[in-house]
Amino acid sequence: MNKLGAKIVLWGLVLGMLIFTAIRTLHFLMATFPPGQQYVAFLALAAFDVGVLGWTYFATNSAEGVAQRTLSYGMIFVCAAGVILTTVGDMIDVSAQNHLTQAPDWWLTAALWGVIVVIVLNVLAGILVHLLDPGHQRHLAQETARDEIHRAALAGIRKRAGEIAPQIAERVTLAWQDQVIQEMTGHLPPRSRPVALPAPRAEETEEFDEEWVERVNARIEQERARSRQRSAQAAATAEQGDEVRADEEGDDGSSAVALRPKYRR
Protein backbone atom coordinates (compact mmCIF):
# COMPACT_ATOMS: atom_id res chain seq x y z
CA MET A 1 0.00 0.00 0.00
CA ASN A 2 2.85 2.38 0.85
CA LYS A 3 4.50 1.64 -2.52
CA LEU A 4 1.34 2.40 -4.41
CA GLY A 5 0.86 5.62 -2.47
CA ALA A 6 4.44 6.63 -3.13
CA LYS A 7 3.97 6.09 -6.84
CA ILE A 8 0.80 8.15 -6.84
CA VAL A 9 2.54 11.00 -5.01
CA LEU A 10 5.50 10.80 -7.36
CA TRP A 11 3.35 10.89 -10.48
CA GLY A 12 1.37 13.73 -8.96
CA LEU A 13 4.52 15.76 -8.53
CA VAL A 14 5.70 14.95 -12.04
CA LEU A 15 2.36 15.89 -13.56
CA GLY A 16 2.18 19.08 -11.51
CA MET A 17 5.63 20.16 -12.68
CA LEU A 18 4.81 19.24 -16.28
CA ILE A 19 1.68 21.36 -16.15
CA PHE A 20 3.71 24.28 -14.82
CA THR A 21 6.46 23.86 -17.40
CA ALA A 22 3.87 23.36 -20.15
CA ILE A 23 2.31 26.74 -19.31
CA ARG A 24 5.73 28.41 -19.36
CA THR A 25 6.70 26.64 -22.61
CA LEU A 26 3.42 27.61 -24.23
CA HIS A 27 3.84 31.26 -23.24
CA PHE A 28 7.41 31.30 -24.60
CA LEU A 29 6.41 29.65 -27.86
CA MET A 30 3.46 32.01 -28.41
CA ALA A 31 5.92 34.88 -28.53
CA THR A 32 7.51 33.31 -31.65
CA PHE A 33 4.24 33.44 -33.67
CA PRO A 34 2.64 36.45 -35.29
CA PRO A 35 -0.64 37.80 -33.85
CA GLY A 36 -3.58 35.56 -34.66
CA GLN A 37 -1.48 32.36 -34.86
CA GLN A 38 -0.54 31.86 -31.23
CA TYR A 39 -2.79 28.79 -31.05
CA VAL A 40 -0.24 26.86 -33.15
CA ALA A 41 2.03 26.85 -30.10
CA PHE A 42 -0.18 24.12 -28.59
CA LEU A 43 1.07 21.75 -31.31
CA ALA A 44 4.67 22.55 -30.39
CA LEU A 45 4.13 21.12 -26.93
CA ALA A 46 4.49 17.66 -28.54
CA ALA A 47 8.25 18.31 -28.73
CA PHE A 48 8.55 19.42 -25.11
CA ASP A 49 6.32 18.44 -22.17
CA VAL A 50 4.10 16.05 -24.13
CA GLY A 51 7.22 14.69 -25.79
CA VAL A 52 8.72 13.73 -22.45
CA LEU A 53 5.64 11.67 -21.59
CA GLY A 54 5.34 10.18 -25.08
CA TRP A 55 8.96 9.08 -25.45
CA THR A 56 8.94 7.70 -21.88
CA TYR A 57 5.89 5.57 -22.59
CA PHE A 58 7.32 4.32 -25.90
CA ALA A 59 10.74 3.48 -24.43
CA THR A 60 9.28 1.48 -21.55
CA ASN A 61 6.56 -0.38 -23.46
CA SER A 62 7.08 -0.54 -27.23
CA ALA A 63 10.73 -0.05 -28.11
CA GLU A 64 12.30 -3.15 -29.71
CA GLY A 65 15.94 -3.66 -30.44
CA VAL A 66 18.97 -1.76 -29.27
CA ALA A 67 18.59 1.02 -31.82
CA GLN A 68 15.00 1.86 -30.93
CA ARG A 69 15.61 1.73 -27.17
CA THR A 70 18.69 3.93 -27.43
CA LEU A 71 16.89 6.47 -29.59
CA SER A 72 13.75 6.62 -27.44
CA TYR A 73 15.63 6.98 -24.14
CA GLY A 74 17.84 9.66 -25.66
CA MET A 75 14.82 11.64 -26.87
CA ILE A 76 13.40 11.71 -23.32
CA PHE A 77 16.38 13.81 -22.25
CA VAL A 78 16.28 15.93 -25.43
CA CYS A 79 12.66 16.87 -24.75
CA ALA A 80 13.45 17.50 -21.10
CA ALA A 81 16.29 19.83 -22.12
CA GLY A 82 13.86 21.71 -24.35
CA VAL A 83 11.41 22.06 -21.48
CA ILE A 84 14.16 23.49 -19.26
CA LEU A 85 15.20 26.01 -21.92
CA THR A 86 11.69 27.28 -22.60
CA THR A 87 10.77 27.41 -18.89
CA VAL A 88 13.89 29.28 -17.85
CA GLY A 89 13.73 31.57 -20.87
CA ASP A 90 10.10 32.49 -20.28
CA MET A 91 10.66 33.12 -16.56
CA ILE A 92 13.66 35.41 -17.22
CA ASP A 93 11.81 37.27 -19.98
CA VAL A 94 8.74 37.89 -17.88
CA SER A 95 10.83 38.83 -14.83
CA ALA A 96 12.77 41.34 -16.91
CA GLN A 97 9.52 42.87 -18.11
CA ASN A 98 8.39 43.16 -14.48
CA HIS A 99 11.75 44.74 -13.59
CA LEU A 100 12.70 41.91 -11.29
CA THR A 101 15.94 41.22 -13.16
CA GLN A 102 17.80 42.26 -16.25
CA ALA A 103 18.08 39.56 -18.94
CA PRO A 104 21.28 39.40 -21.03
CA ASP A 105 20.84 40.14 -24.70
CA TRP A 106 22.16 36.73 -25.83
CA TRP A 107 19.98 34.70 -23.46
CA LEU A 108 16.70 34.84 -25.35
CA THR A 109 18.55 34.20 -28.65
CA ALA A 110 20.23 31.08 -27.22
CA ALA A 111 16.91 29.83 -25.81
CA LEU A 112 15.26 30.38 -29.19
CA TRP A 113 17.95 28.36 -31.00
CA GLY A 114 17.62 25.62 -28.37
CA VAL A 115 13.88 25.40 -29.07
CA ILE A 116 14.56 25.09 -32.82
CA VAL A 117 17.08 22.29 -32.26
CA VAL A 118 14.69 20.35 -30.00
CA ILE A 119 11.86 20.54 -32.55
CA VAL A 120 14.14 19.40 -35.42
CA LEU A 121 15.50 16.47 -33.35
CA ASN A 122 11.97 15.32 -32.53
CA VAL A 123 11.03 15.28 -36.19
CA LEU A 124 14.13 13.29 -37.14
CA ALA A 125 13.69 10.90 -34.22
CA GLY A 126 10.08 10.23 -35.22
CA ILE A 127 11.30 9.15 -38.67
CA LEU A 128 14.26 7.10 -37.44
CA VAL A 129 12.28 5.20 -34.82
CA HIS A 130 10.12 3.71 -37.59
CA LEU A 131 13.10 2.93 -39.82
CA LEU A 132 14.86 1.15 -36.93
CA ASP A 133 11.89 -1.07 -36.21
CA PRO A 134 12.97 -4.77 -36.28
CA GLY A 135 10.10 -5.64 -38.60
CA HIS A 136 11.21 -2.98 -41.03
CA GLN A 137 14.80 -4.17 -40.71
CA ARG A 138 13.72 -7.69 -41.68
CA HIS A 139 11.79 -6.29 -44.62
CA LEU A 140 14.85 -4.27 -45.64
CA ALA A 141 17.07 -7.38 -45.43
CA GLN A 142 14.62 -9.32 -47.62
CA GLU A 143 14.52 -6.54 -50.17
CA THR A 144 18.32 -6.42 -50.19
CA ALA A 145 18.41 -10.17 -50.89
CA ARG A 146 15.89 -9.72 -53.70
CA ASP A 147 18.04 -6.96 -55.15
CA GLU A 148 21.02 -9.33 -55.20
CA ILE A 149 18.92 -11.96 -56.97
CA HIS A 150 17.66 -9.42 -59.51
CA ARG A 151 21.21 -8.24 -60.21
CA ALA A 152 22.38 -11.82 -60.72
CA ALA A 153 19.40 -12.50 -63.01
CA LEU A 154 20.09 -9.38 -65.07
CA ALA A 155 23.74 -10.32 -65.38
CA GLY A 156 22.71 -13.79 -66.61
CA ILE A 157 20.26 -12.28 -69.09
CA ARG A 158 22.91 -9.96 -70.49
CA LYS A 159 25.32 -12.88 -70.83
CA ARG A 160 22.76 -15.12 -72.54
CA ALA A 161 21.66 -12.26 -74.79
CA GLY A 162 25.14 -12.07 -76.25
CA GLU A 163 25.10 -15.83 -76.91
CA ILE A 164 21.65 -16.13 -78.51
CA ALA A 165 21.71 -12.81 -80.38
CA PRO A 166 23.31 -14.29 -83.57
CA GLN A 167 20.78 -17.14 -83.64
CA ILE A 168 17.83 -14.81 -83.21
CA ALA A 169 19.26 -12.41 -85.79
CA GLU A 170 19.54 -15.25 -88.32
CA ARG A 171 15.95 -16.34 -87.73
CA VAL A 172 14.67 -12.79 -87.99
CA THR A 173 16.62 -12.32 -91.22
CA LEU A 174 15.17 -15.48 -92.74
CA ALA A 175 11.65 -14.46 -91.69
CA TRP A 176 12.18 -11.03 -93.24
CA GLN A 177 13.50 -12.64 -96.42
CA ASP A 178 10.43 -14.89 -96.72
CA GLN A 179 8.14 -11.95 -96.07
CA VAL A 180 9.79 -9.80 -98.73
CA ILE A 181 9.70 -12.63 -101.28
CA GLN A 182 6.01 -13.19 -100.56
CA GLU A 183 5.26 -9.48 -100.87
CA MET A 184 7.26 -9.04 -104.11
CA THR A 185 6.11 -12.20 -105.90
CA GLY A 186 2.61 -12.60 -104.55
CA HIS A 187 1.05 -10.76 -107.56
CA LEU A 188 2.86 -12.86 -110.21
CA PRO A 189 0.97 -15.68 -112.05
CA PRO A 190 1.92 -19.24 -111.16
CA ARG A 191 4.86 -20.61 -113.13
CA SER A 192 4.06 -23.50 -115.52
CA ARG A 193 6.13 -26.65 -115.45
CA PRO A 194 8.73 -26.63 -118.25
CA VAL A 195 8.43 -29.26 -121.00
CA ALA A 196 11.19 -31.85 -120.83
CA LEU A 197 13.14 -31.76 -124.12
CA PRO A 198 15.56 -34.49 -125.17
CA ALA A 199 19.18 -33.76 -124.69
CA PRO A 200 20.68 -32.83 -128.07
CA ARG A 201 24.12 -34.17 -127.26
CA ALA A 202 22.78 -37.63 -126.39
CA GLU A 203 20.79 -37.81 -129.68
CA GLU A 204 23.78 -36.80 -131.75
CA THR A 205 25.91 -39.42 -130.03
CA GLU A 206 23.29 -42.09 -130.70
CA GLU A 207 23.06 -41.15 -134.41
CA PHE A 208 26.84 -41.09 -134.61
CA ASP A 209 27.07 -44.61 -133.14
CA GLU A 210 24.51 -46.08 -135.59
CA GLU A 211 26.21 -44.50 -138.57
CA TRP A 212 29.59 -45.77 -137.46
CA VAL A 213 28.25 -49.32 -137.05
CA GLU A 214 26.74 -49.23 -140.55
CA ARG A 215 30.05 -48.14 -142.05
CA VAL A 216 31.93 -50.88 -140.20
CA ASN A 217 29.46 -53.55 -141.35
CA ALA A 218 29.71 -52.36 -144.95
CA ARG A 219 33.51 -52.51 -144.79
CA ILE A 220 33.39 -56.05 -143.44
CA GLU A 221 31.06 -57.17 -146.25
CA GLN A 222 33.36 -55.65 -148.85
CA GLU A 223 36.35 -57.48 -147.39
CA ARG A 224 34.42 -60.74 -147.42
CA ALA A 225 33.41 -60.25 -151.06
CA ARG A 226 36.98 -59.49 -152.05
CA SER A 227 38.22 -62.58 -150.20
CA ARG A 228 35.70 -64.81 -152.00
CA GLN A 229 36.65 -63.28 -155.35
CA ARG A 230 40.38 -63.93 -154.76
CA SER A 231 39.63 -67.50 -153.77
CA ALA A 232 37.62 -68.07 -156.94
CA GLN A 233 40.36 -66.63 -159.16
CA ALA A 234 43.00 -68.81 -157.46
CA ALA A 235 40.90 -71.98 -158.09
CA ALA A 236 40.34 -71.12 -161.75
CA THR A 237 44.03 -70.56 -162.30
CA ALA A 238 44.89 -73.93 -160.73
CA GLU A 239 42.46 -75.81 -163.05
CA GLN A 240 43.88 -74.17 -166.11
CA GLY A 241 47.40 -75.19 -165.07
CA ASP A 242 46.40 -78.83 -164.64
CA GLU A 243 44.77 -79.01 -168.04
CA VAL A 244 47.89 -77.56 -169.72
CA ARG A 245 50.18 -80.16 -168.12
CA ALA A 246 47.84 -82.98 -169.15
CA ASP A 247 47.90 -81.90 -172.76
CA GLU A 248 51.67 -81.78 -172.79
CA GLU A 249 52.02 -85.33 -171.41
CA GLY A 250 49.59 -86.75 -174.03
CA ASP A 251 51.56 -85.30 -176.82
CA ASP A 252 54.77 -87.03 -175.59
CA GLY A 253 53.30 -90.67 -175.77
CA SER A 254 53.00 -91.02 -172.11
CA SER A 255 50.08 -92.79 -170.66
CA ALA A 256 47.08 -90.64 -170.76
CA VAL A 257 46.30 -90.34 -167.20
CA ALA A 258 43.86 -87.69 -166.21
CA LEU A 259 45.54 -85.75 -163.49
CA ARG A 260 43.22 -84.19 -161.00
CA PRO A 261 44.15 -81.50 -158.65
CA LYS A 262 44.78 -82.62 -155.14
CA TYR A 263 42.42 -79.99 -153.77
CA ARG A 264 39.35 -79.02 -155.71
CA ARG A 265 36.94 -76.46 -154.83
> Mean per-residue pLDDT for 91-118?
84
> Mean per-residue pLDDT for 127-156?
88
pLDDT in tens, 26-85: 888 888 888 888 888 888 888 888 888 889 899 888 888 888 899 999 999 999 999 998
| Burial category of 49 from C-beta neighbours within 10 Å (exposed 0-12, middle 13-18, buried 19 and up) | buried
Distances (CA, A) of 104 to 95, 96, 101: 12, 10, 10
Instruction: Answer for the pair 49, 18: CB distance below 8 angstroms, yes or no.
Output: yes
Most confident of 163-177, 222-236, 241-255: 163-177
pLDDT at res. 248: 57
d(CA 36, CA 166): 75
| Burial category of 28 from C-beta neighbours within 10 Å (exposed 0-12, middle 13-18, buried 19 and up) | buried
d(CA 234, CA 237): 5
pTM: 0.53
d(CA 119, CA 126): 11
> Mean per-residue pLDDT for 196-201?
50
Q: Would you list the domain boundaries of the chain?
A: 2-136, 208-265
pLDDT at res. 161: 83
Instruction: Answer for the pair 110, 93: CB distance below 8 angstroms, yes or no.
Output: no
pLDDT at res. 257: 42
For residue 241, what pLDDT band results from cuts at 50, 70 and 90? low
pLDDT at res. 62: 84
On average, the pLDDT of the chain sits at 79
